[in-house]
Structure 1
């Protein structure tokens, strides 16, 4: 990894869009207890979606902070540059941490989508 600009932009956009999803989930959650057709499991599922989205937002913001810090300080650099063996090793380690954190964010986002889909099936369609 040699530049963090595109990663920071993409993760920032996704985290910002998740803020809108959380607002809609909050509004949905406040309106749901009045519906007699819903069970406690349906409400718990909406709560789980909310918590997953909040975790994805937090993780995205922390990852953006990490990437900006590493990119600004020059800690993530092209290992092919002649910067010395120690610096190249540190750059590889920091890049590996960024890749692992990005992978975790993708898994959390996939879990959010899965739970949103399940909530839609149970609440909107009425599937058991």
Structure 2
């Protein structure tokens, strides 16, 4: 059986990303292993501490920077996180100073909103309706 153990989000600054993903979004730091200039740094959802880990991947590879910037410039989210209530998360995160590039919007069977993670990415929040 194949399953996802770790997935990554490219970040321009691991420490800033850790502060945003834990302090603003509410993830919990799971793993931190020094690896020279960077770290193997993962976070998990507070209700899924043994679930899929999100690696805060340092932007050490030039072509990845180009890809990240192209997605950002086009307004395309790098990834999507599932939430129970997009409107409530939008209100909570906006109050915490998070900037959204798209406010909550119904699109067929889902409601979505897109936020700026301050680390070079648009991140989509998704709620199944």
TM-score norm. by structure 1 comes to 0.26
The structure with the greater share of residues assigned to strand is 2
More helix by share: 1
Larger Cα-atom Rg? 1
Structure number with greater CO (CA < 8 Å, separation at least 6) is 1
TM-score (ref. length: structure 2):
0.26
